[in-house]
DNA sequence: TAAAATATAAACCGAATAGTCGGTTTATAA
DNA sequence: TTATAAACCGACTATTCGGTTTATATTTTA
C-alpha cells in the first residue's frame, strides 16, 4: 500500500479519526463501514482499499488512539521529578472537559466488554495496561532508591496503583452525580500515598 | 400478560436464564431473539409474547441477575459480625470457579460499556452500585460506633471502598495472568483496611 | 359447553449491513 | 507519451435479524 505517500498520509489519519469518533458515539459494535466512509469523506470502496475489513479498521483505530493517550500520560509524567508526584500525576484522566478523554473512556469500556470474551481484545488491553505499569514501576523504584517509599513488591504495588486509578475512574465517569472530581482525586491521592509509604 | 400463572412461572424464569446465559456467551449486543427462543425451548413468537421487544427482554434479564448477585452478597455479609471483616467479606467476588461470577463480570462490563453512552443503562448501573454502597455504609457506621474505625466521611469512604473492589476486580478478571487471586485479596484488604482506620 | 382469551408456532417482511467487484480516475515510472 | 499500479467509486449480493402476521391449540370464563 502507499504508492502515493502523500495521499496516504492524509487519508489514513482521517479514516482513523473518523472511526474513533464514531466508536465513541455509537460503540464499537454499532458502527458501519458506510458511516465511517461518510465521515472520513471517501467512499466505502475507498475505505476498504485502505483497511481491508471492519476488524482491521477498528483494530488500527483503537491501537492508534490508545498510543496517543499513553504518550500524553508519559509526557506529563516526564515533566515531574518527585516520584510520589509522578504517581499522582495521572489525575489529568479525571477531567470531564477533555473531549479526548470522553472518547477514551467509552473506548476503554468497549474494549473491556469485548475483552471479557475475546482473547485478541484481552491482549490489546493487557498491552495497554502493561505500558502504564512500566511507567508506574519506574516511579516507584525511584522513590525507593530515594528512601521515600517503603514497598514490599514493586510490581505488585504498581498494579495496585493502576487498579485504584481504574476503579476510581470507572465510578467517576459512569456516575458523576455521586462521584465528584474531588472525590476521585482525594481517593487516589490517599490510596496511592498509602500504597507506597505505609506498606507493612 | 400471564393470566395463566402456572405456565408463566415456568416460562419466564427459563427465558431469563437463557437470555443471561447467551449474553454471557456473546455479549448483550450480539444475542438474537431466535437464539434466546431456541435456548429457552420455545418459538420466537412465544418469546415475544412474554417480552415484547428485545430491550424489555434484556432489561428484565439483567435486572433479575443483578438482584440475585446482590442478594448473595448481602447474605454472606449478614453472617459476619465484625465490621472490618464485613467490609472485606466481598472477596468471594474473586473466585474464578464460580460460573455465576463469570457470567456476572461479563454482564457488568457490557453494562458499563453501554452505560457510557446510554442514560437508561447508566441508571441501571447506578442503582446496582447504590445497593452495595448502602451495605458498605452500614458496616462502616457500625465500625465507627464500635470505636474501631476513623473515618471522615462515611459516604465518601464507602464509595472509595467500592471503587477499590471494582478496580481490582477489573484487572483480576481481564488479566488473570498478571493479577493473581492473592494479589486481588491482598490489595483489597490492605486498601480497605487503610481507608477505614488511617484516615487523617 | 360455547365463546372468549391466552399461548404458541411458523412463515414472512423489510431494514440494515459487511463485503465484493467491475470499472474509472489519478499518479508515477519508463 | 505511454504503461502500470494505486486510489477510488458505488451498485450489487447475500445474509442477518427484530418484529409482525397468520393460523392453530389450549385454557379460562360466562
Q: Quick one: average pLDDT of A28-32?
A: 95
Grid cell in block for residue A35? 458511516
- Domain of B186, CATH number, reads 1.10.357.10
Tell whether A26 is covered by a domain.
yes
pLDDT at A5: 66
B44 plus B93 within the same structural domain? no
Q: Could you tell me the pLDDT band of residue B43, with boundaries at 50, 70 and 90?
A: confident
Predicted confidence (pLDDT) at residue B101 exceeds the cutoff of 60:
yes
Is the CB of B49 less than 7 A from some atom of nucleic acid strand C?
yes
pLDDT in tens, A88-126: 999 999 999 999 999 999 999 999 999 999 999 999 999
Predicted confidence (pLDDT) at residue B154 exceeds the cutoff of 50:
yes
Q: Which of residues 111-140 of B touch strand C (CB under 7 A)?
A: none
Helix (H, G, I), strand (E, B) or coil at A111: helix
DSSP H helices, chain B, are 5-26, 33-39, 44-50, 54-78, 83-87, 99-115, 119-145, 154-174, 181-197
Percentage of chain A lying above the pLDDT 70 cut: 96
Residue-number span of the structural domain to which A3 is assigned: 1-52
pLDDT at A76: 98
Predicted confidence (pLDDT) at residue A42 exceeds the cutoff of 50:
yes
B105 plus B155 within the same structural domain? yes
Q: Could you tell me the pLDDT band of residue B9, with boundaries at 50, 70 and 90?
A: confident
Predicted confidence (pLDDT) at residue B140 exceeds the cutoff of 60:
yes
Tell me which chain A residue has its CA closest to the CA of residue B116: A106
Separation of alpha carbons B200 and B183, rounded Å? 26
Q: Could you tell me the pLDDT band of residue B61, with boundaries at 50, 70 and 90?
A: very high
Tell whether B91 is covered by a domain.
yes
Question: With 0-12 CB in 10 A as exposed, 13-18 as middle and 19+ as buried, what is A6?
Answer: exposed
pLDDT in tens, B124-137: 999 999 999 999 99
Predicted confidence (pLDDT) at residue B200 exceeds the cutoff of 80:
no
Separation of alpha carbons A180 and B93, rounded Å? 26
Tell whether B57 is covered by a domain.
no
Domain count, chain B: 2
Q: Could you tell me the pLDDT band of residue B6, with boundaries at 50, 70 and 90?
A: low
- Domain of B29, CATH number, reads 1.10.10.60
Is the CB of A78 less than 7 A from some atom of nucleic acid strand C?
no
A124 plus A175 within the same structural domain? yes
Residues A187/B161, Cβ–Cβ less than 8 Å: no
B141 plus B176 within the same structural domain? yes
Chain-chain contact of B160 with A195 (C-beta, under 8 angstroms): no
Is the CB of A134 less than 7 A from some atom of nucleic acid strand D?
no
Helix (H, G, I), strand (E, B) or coil at A80: coil
Chain-chain contact of B125 with A179 (C-beta, under 8 angstroms): no
Chain-chain contact of B166 with A165 (C-beta, under 8 angstroms): no
Predicted confidence (pLDDT) at residue B1 exceeds the cutoff of 50:
no
Q: Quick one: average pLDDT of A53-59?
A: 94
End-to-end CA gap in chain A: 57
Nearest to B178 by CA among A169, A127, A118, A114: A127
pLDDT at A200: 47
Nearest nt by C1' to B8 Cα? C7
Tell whether A57 is covered by a domain.
no
Tell me which chain B residue has its CA closest to the CA of residue A180: B156
| Shortest CA gap B55–chain A (Å) | 16
Indicate the pTM of the whole model. Answer: 0.94
A96 plus A193 within the same structural domain? yes
B101 plus B167 within the same structural domain? yes
Phi-psi region of B42 (alpha: psi -120 to 50; beta: other; left: phi over 0): beta
Nearest to A140 by CA among A128, A126, A154: A154
Helix (H, G, I), strand (E, B) or coil at B119: helix
In chain B, what residues touch A117 (CB-CB under 8 Å)? 25-27, 106
Tell whether A115 is covered by a domain.
yes
pLDDT in tens, A121-157: 999 999 999 999 999 999 999 999 999 999 999 999 9
Give the DSSP letter string of B23-62. HHHH-GGG--HHHHHHHTTS-HHHHHHHSSSHHHHHHHHH
pLDDT at A170: 98
* Cβ neighbours around B88 below 10 Å, total: 18
Tell whether B168 is covered by a domain.
yes
In chain B, what residues touch A27 (CB-CB under 8 Å)? 29, 113-114, 117
Q: Tell me what the pLDDT averaged over chain A comes to.
A: 94
pLDDT at B92: 97
Nearest to B125 by CA among B76, B50, B169, B70: B70
Handedness of CA B137, B143, B148, B153 (dihedral sign): positive
pLDDT at B160: 98
| Partner-chain residue, chosen from B112, B171, B179, that has the shortest CB–CB distance to A174 | B112
DSSP-derived secondary structure letter, B115 = H
Predicted confidence (pLDDT) at residue A1 exceeds the cutoff of 50:
no
Tell whether A154 is covered by a domain.
yes
B69 plus B39 within the same structural domain? no
| Partner-chain residue, chosen from A116, A130, A160, that has the shortest CB–CB distance to B187 | A160
Phi-psi region of B147 (alpha: psi -120 to 50; beta: other; left: phi over 0): left
B78 plus B159 within the same structural domain? yes
Largest CA distance in chain A: 61
A27 plus A80 within the same structural domain? no
B79 plus B171 within the same structural domain? yes
Give the CA-to-C1' distance from B121 to C16 in angstroms: 24
Range of weakest confidence among A84-88, A91-95, B23-27, B41-45: B41-45
Predicted confidence (pLDDT) at residue A6 exceeds the cutoff of 80:
no
Beta strand ranges found along chain A (DSSP E): none
Chain-chain contact of A109 with B116 (C-beta, under 8 angstroms): yes
In chain A, what residues touch B117 (CB-CB under 8 Å)? 25-27, 106
Q: Which residues contact B193 (CB under 8 A, 6 or more apart)?
A: B84, B88
Tell whether A188 is covered by a domain.
yes
Predicted confidence (pLDDT) at residue B2 exceeds the cutoff of 80:
no
B120 plus B162 within the same structural domain? yes
Name the residue with higher pLDDT: A200 or A104.
A104
Give the CA-to-C1' distance from A53 to D5 in angstroms: 22
Tell me which chain B residue has its CA closest to the CA of residue A128: B175
A85 plus A134 within the same structural domain? yes
| Shortest CA gap A73–chain B (Å) | 19
Chain-chain contact of B117 with A171 (C-beta, under 8 angstroms): no
Give the CA-to-C1' distance from B9 to C1 in angstroms: 29
Amino acid at each position: 500500500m502507499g504508492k502515493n505517500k502523500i495521499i496516504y498520509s492524509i487519508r489514513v489519519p482521517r479514516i482513523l479519526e473518523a472511526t474513533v469518533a464514531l466508536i465513541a458515539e455509537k460503540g464499537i459494535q454499532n458502527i458501519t463501514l458506510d458511516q465511517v466512509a461518510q465521515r472520513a469523506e471517501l467512499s466505502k470502496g475507498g475505505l476498504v482499499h485502505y483497511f481491508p475489513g471492519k476488524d482491521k479498521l477498528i483494530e488500527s483505530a483503537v491501537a492508534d488512539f490508545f498510543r496517543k493517550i499513553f504518550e500524553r500520560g508519559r509526557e506529563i509524567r516526564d515533566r515531574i521529578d518527585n516520584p510520589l508526584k509522578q504517581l499522582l500525576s495521572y489525575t489529568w484522566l479525571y477531567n470531564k472537559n477533555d473531549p479526548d478523554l470522553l472518547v477514551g473512556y467509552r473506548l476503554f469500556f468497549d474494549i473491556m466488554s469485548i475483552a471479557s470474551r475475546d482473547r485478541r481484545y484481552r491482549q490489546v488491553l493487557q498491552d495497554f495496561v502493561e505500558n502504564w505499569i512500566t511507567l508506574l514501576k519506574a516511579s516507584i523504584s525511584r522513590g525507593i532508591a530515594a528512601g521515600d517509599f517503603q514497598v514490599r513488591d514493586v510490581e505488585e504495588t504498581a498494579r495496585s496503583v493502576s487498579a485504584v486509578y481504574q476503579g476510581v475512574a470507572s465510578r467517576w465517569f459512569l456516575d458523576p452525580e455521586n462521584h465528584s472530581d474531588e472525590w476521585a482525586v482525594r481517593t487516589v491521592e490517599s490510596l496511592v500515598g498509602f500504597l507506597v509509604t505505609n506498606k507493612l
